[in-house]
Structure 1
Amino acid sequence: MSISQSDLSNPHYGYDFVVATTQESINATMDEYMSTIDSPEVSICYIMDPNGNPKQIDYQTLIKQANGTDPFSVPNKSDPSSTELQNLAKAFFYYGFKAKIGLPNGYAPLSPGGPSLPNIVTLGANTATVSYNLLSSEFTVVEAQYGPRGIIGWLNESQPAGKAWVFSSKVDLRLGATSEYSKLPPSVQAKIKNIGGNAFSVQQLLFDLDNAALESIPTISGVEAGTPLYTALESSFIGAYFSKLKESGEPVLSYSITQSTTPSSTLVLTDLNMEVQPVVGSNGLPVSSPTLEQQKITTLCYLCAANNKPLPAASPFTWNWIEESDALKYNGALAIKRDTFSHYIKNELITYIRENCYKVYVKVWMDGLKCKYKGELTGGQNPNITFPSAGEETLKISYSSSDHDQAGLDGDMGKMKVDTSYTVSVTFSSNTIVIEQHLVLYLYIRSLQSSKSGNVFDKKITDTYSLEVGQNGELTANKTTKKVDHSVKLKANWFINLFTGLNDLLKNFEDYEKTFGSSSLKSIPITFAQDFFFPGGKTFSFQDIEFSKNQDLVSHINYVEPS
């Protein structure tokens, strides 16, 4: 049950395209990103109001009110009678912390031989309860303990190397109308549901995970519960600070990203949602007790709508985007719905196709004792277009026209009929697109009692495009062309021609047919394929390309180095 089963046209889905990345690759790429991240140091301080409740105060304002004393510079367990603590007592300092998002010191691989970092993200089986571990490259907490006459105790502790203070939350990553996301101000929603150039990046995902409004109240690990340090972290970080951010929907520790310009992409992302996809078995249902390796290939799926089309509701997939055997080679997969890609091809070819859709006009009349004939073909007509919902044929285009006229009694002096038909068939299979065109021009012409008929133009062109994809998501193709000509040349024998002049009429029409044939039915230019760019080209490199068994266009992807 791999991406070869991708079936986004199934009524349960309907997304224009899906980007899916594994838990393992998300964590590895996020670790890499956070090892070089230059996030701001956040310093948050609180004083005690007249009722004994914490009240946030600007860090520099506090230092000024405390006669220049910086609470973070006062050593742990300092003497309450020291000048520094007396200054802080006069400013009613309560507690505070300073921290910076990043990888904590003392862990592998930054510190060889150190313990392994905990996963930043554990997807689990529910999009509403994704596990997120907030990690900090530095974290210091300070707290004053007050007695009847002022400060009687002082705590100042920092996160030790190799023993990180981890704040764990459950995050609701659903971006629909019934989730926590829907309760946020529109400006905050727009930052979380980023449809710009880095919509699928780990930087954006970290921003979404780090939003307090989407998180449950964190629990602390790495600090013994019930200790003064644990109490201080609960009071300063989880209590006063986190609760305030949760109300406003702000990111924790002021994490932010710069929205990049949208890279070249043929499909313009206009809406998205997220969905966690656990590993499924051969029955298409989630594995009840997944192994550790299966948990690693659980995927976070971005469900995407393009070009302002409505986004269907999230629905679990019945196939795996990555199999265990591919986990070491690929970070995920991207799939484009067959109908979406077929519409792209139609839009690319429609101008050329209309040129081969000819409306017929025929006129036959007597000019004295002579019968005259006239036939006109006008291109640029609108064909019938259908998109088959199943099978390798994904696009069918057809046009036909017919006209006839006669002169004399029941056409005994002359008669003419002209039919045109043009069909285009597009099929997807393996890594190829096959476009078959067939243009037919049928002529029946009669002079007195003699007549001739046949397909004076009957040509078929089959173009086969073998697809490849560049590292940045650009589609490339190699083309082979096969041409078949079943046109017939109509000619009367000399005796009939002697009395009817039929060959002269046929020659006139043959000359017209040559002009018609030279201006119509050409091989489809390869540029229609080479103009296509996959979404996500700034975030991923594309490893291969093929059509699934249901004709979705699919590719395995890997994260590029985050920056």
Structure 2
Amino acid sequence: MSETQSNLSNKNYGYHMVVSTTGIALDARMKEWLANLHLKPFTQAFLSTTERQQPILTDFDKLQEKLKFNPFELPTDIPITDERIKRLQDQNFKFAFQIELGLPDFPISNIPPVIELNQEGTNVTYNMICKSFHVIALEQNDKGELQWISLSQSQQYNLWVFQFKVNLDLRSASIDSHFDDLPEKTKAAIKNYGKDLFSIQQLFLDLNVAHLSQEPKIDGLDPNSMAYRYLKEIFIKCYINELASNGGIMLGFAALGQKSPRISESFVPTDLNFVVSAHKDRNGNPSNLYKAYTLNYLLMSKGSLMPYGRPFSWNWVEQEKIGQYAGVVSINKEVFRDYLNQVFSSSLPNILKTPDVSFKAYCLSVEFGYGIKPNYSPYSYQLHDYKPDQILTFNYQSNDSAKDYKFCGYIIWGNIKCEYNVNSDVFLIGNTIRLETIITVYLNIGIEGGSVKGNFCKTKVVTNYQIAVDSYGQISCDWGDGPRITDESDKIEIGFYTKLITAGQITKTVNEVKQDVKNYVNRYIQNDSSQILKLLNGGSAWVFPGSNTFSFLNAKFSDNQDLVANVIYTSTALKPEQIKTILSAVRKDPSLLYSPTPEFILSLEGK
């Protein structure tokens, strides 16, 4: 089972596009991103009040101005008689916390996955870890004595981990989701269809919407400890729960501004949802290989309704490749078919013609003529999936006829009929777009009961456009040695009487007609293939979305004709030559993706 089984057009799915990323890749990239995150510490302070039991939030910066000092800098053993404690009392200070987002200074083996994929569906486990976490409080103990509390994550042996169960179901119709209850600005931030859609910071924002979360569990602390009590009372009870009631975003985190795209993208999403899909064993049952579970971005376009989020019956990334690729991007064959339809249909005017024939009878001879006129009417391929691997078909027929007779004591008569046919089919096989086109010119020239008829020209052209994808997601095509053209024309038989009445000129004329038509058809059909190649590689070339987040490899078609490609996370700060270096090195040694050697890192830095 692998991405070659992708079948998004199946009635159980119906998504226009899926981006699937493995748990191990998400965790590696998330931690790398957090390690390089430099944000201002987020601080919240609360004051006590006689009017209500619940502490009230206050502006920390203004509080600090009144105090003339930063209360987080007070030592843990400060005497209660200190003047600064008196100032805190005068301001009715109750407690405060200060958090700096990022990767904490703990052994990496002690840091849990930021996001855990351990069950199918829309629920994920989000382990909120912080670079620093500091809680301070001023209150009376059980004896009624005033005491100063200062607790910091850095003082502990274990990391403080706040574990949330997050429901990533963003469908408005879902009864299990509270997404529709969120403020419009928050919903817009979560469903960001811009260039950062697949970025780690966007996913981090989605995870940090408190209204989508249950009350967190605190790991790393004894439930009976003072630190646990204060974290629960201050951070969870007074901050998280209050935040959840109005649909805010935890820790003040906001999405970064949208970056300009590297190149225009062919797919424009209009709706987004998530689903977790389990890694399947050989029997098709969910395994416990959680690092191979995938978080799947489900996307729709053109305002289409988002189907129910179903886990997939195949593995997007096989176990032996989870250290090589971060995941897969897949385009529904119907979406890519529409794109190909536009490309191939735009070249049809080059080969769609209307025959123009004439016939004139005289007492001692006959004359006939043929010609082919352009047809500028708009045509397009039809959707077709009745044959294996076929996605498009096109059939065209145009005909013309003429007849005449002459009475010269006896009757000389005859006629001519011409049919012009185009049959074209598009197949998607492996990494190839296969275009098979047959152009047929049928002529029937009748004189005095005798006739010369058949396919004067039947030319078949088969062009295999092999696809590839560059690191920025742009599909390119190459046709190798070019289109393969075969002549399937009939051998035209000319009867004795027809030769006699036309004084033998019919033989010469028929051969001329046949050769002229063949030359014409071959010329146009080759130009048609050449134009299609230019369109596939030019400004209208297909481009995957997500180039600000991923680099792309191995474009191909699934067994069900979905367009799929492998992806790896990459930094937008990297230069194109650096990305090429990464991709080349990873192909040779996949382990570099998650355990880069010092030499590899130095090579990227140009040292």
Length-normalised TM-score, structure 2 = 0.83
Q: Which residue of 2 aligns with 1:395?
A: 392
Q: Distance in 1 between matches of 2:298 and 2:412?
A: 67
Q: State which of 482, 485, 498 in structure 1 corresponds to 2:484.
A: 482
What is the deviation of 1:257? Answer: 2.6
Q: Which residue of 1 aligns with 2:182?
A: 184
Q: Does 1:84 align with 2:79?
A: no
Q: State which of 136, 146, 160 in structure 1 corresponds to 2:140.
A: 146
Structure 1 contact 359–377 (Cα < 8 Å) conserved: yes
1:61-99 Cα distance to aligned partner (Å, 9 max, x none): 212343x24321222243222211111111100000111
What is the deviation of 1:384? Answer: 5.5
Give the counterpart letter for 1:95 in structure 2.
F
Structure 1 contact 99–140 (Cα < 8 Å) conserved: yes
Q: Distance in 1 between matches of 2:151 and 2:572?
A: 32
1:90-129 Cα distance to aligned partner (Å, 9 max, x none): 1100000111111111323xxxxxx431111111214443
What is the deviation of 1:19? Answer: 0.9
Identity of aligned residues (%): 26
Q: Distance in 2 between matches of 1:496 and 1:441?
A: 26
Q: Which residue of 2 aligns with 1:112?
A: none
SS state of the match for residue 543, structure 1? strand
Q: Which residue of 2 aligns with 1:545?
A: 555
Q: Which residue of 2 aligns with 1:56?
A: 57
Q: Which residue of 1 aligns with 2:601?
A: none
Q: Distance in 2 between matches of 1:184 and 1:389?
A: 45
1:375-420 Cα distance to aligned partner (Å, 9 max, x none): 5544234255132166212221111223334234999612111111
Q: Which residue of 2 aligns with 1:437?
A: 437
What is the deviation of 1:428? Answer: 1.7
Q: How does 1:420-459 map to 2 (within 5 A)?
A: 420-459=420-459
Q: Which residue of 1 aligns with 2:74?
A: 74
Q: Which residue of 1 aligns with 2:228?
A: 230
1:293-341 Cα distance to aligned partner (Å, 9 max, x none): x111000011122344433221221111111111221211122222222
Q: Distance in 2 between matches of 1:384 and 1:36?
A: 50
Q: Distance in 2 between matches of 1:436 and 1:314?
A: 37
Q: Does 1:38 align with 2:38?
A: yes
Q: Distance in 2 between matches of 1:507 and 1:434?
A: 32
Q: Distance in 1 between matches of 2:572 and 2:245?
A: 31
Give the counterpart letter for 1:118 in structure 2.
P
SS state of the match for residue 401, structure 1? strand
Q: In 2 relative to 1, CA 21–231 (structure 1 residues): closer, same or farther, beyond 3 Å?
A: same
Q: Which residue of 2 aligns with 1:379?
A: 375
Q: State which of 190, 194, 219 in structure 1 corresponds to 2:192.
A: 194
Give the counterpart letter for 1:234 in structure 2.
K
| More moved, 374-383 vs 262-271 | 374-383
1:538-561 Cα distance to aligned partner (Å, 9 max, x none): 211223232222222222221113
Number of corresponding residues:
551
Q: State which of 296, 310, 318 in structure 2 corresponds to 1:323.
A: 318
Q: Distance in 2 between matches of 1:390 and 1:436?
A: 13
Give the counterpart letter for 1:561 in structure 2.
S
Give the counterpart letter for 2:375 in structure 1.
G
Give the counterpart letter for 1:379 in structure 2.
N
Q: Does 1:335 align with 2:335?
A: no
What is the deviation of 1:496? Answer: 2.3
Structure 1 contact 97–140 (Cα < 8 Å) conserved: yes
1:490-521 Cα distance to aligned partner (Å, 9 max, x none): 68679525459646865885686367436622
Q: Which residue of 1 aligns with 2:113?
A: 119
Structure 1 contact 39–255 (Cα < 8 Å) conserved: no
Q: Does 1:524 align with 2:526?
A: no
SS state of the match for residue 112, structure 2? coil
Q: Which residue of 2 aligns with 1:534?
A: 544
Q: State which of 126, 129, 139 in structure 2 corresponds to 1:135.
A: 129
SS state of the match for residue 31, structure 2? helix
Q: In 2 relative to 1, CA 521–514 (structure 1 residues): closer, same or farther, beyond 3 Å?
A: same
What is the deviation of 1:45? Answer: 0.6
Q: In 2 relative to 1, CA 464–508 (structure 1 residues): closer, same or farther, beyond 3 Å?
A: closer
Structure 2 contact 16–335 (Cα < 8 Å) conserved: yes
Length-normalised TM-score, structure 1 = 0.90
Structure 2 contact 499–505 (Cα < 8 Å) conserved: no
Q: Distance in 2 between matches of 1:21 and 1:384?
A: 35
Q: Distance in 1 between matches of 2:513 and 2:131?
A: 83
Q: Which residue of 2 aligns with 1:206?
A: 204
What is the deviation of 1:475? Answer: 1.9
Q: Distance in 2 between matches of 1:488 and 1:148?
A: 106
Structure 1 portions without partners, runs of 5+: 109-114
Structure 2 contact 416–446 (Cα < 8 Å) conserved: yes
| More moved, 30-39 vs 218-227 | 218-227
| More moved, 96-105 vs 51-60 | 51-60
Q: Distance in 2 between matches of 1:44 and 1:356?
A: 71
Q: Distance in 1 between matches of 2:406 and 2:311?
A: 71
SS state of the match for residue 435, structure 1? strand
Q: Distance in 2 between matches of 1:96 and 1:75?
A: 15
Q: In 2 relative to 1, CA 509–213 (structure 1 residues): closer, same or farther, beyond 3 Å?
A: same
Structure 2 contact 110–159 (Cα < 8 Å) conserved: no
Q: Distance in 2 between matches of 1:386 and 1:561?
A: 39
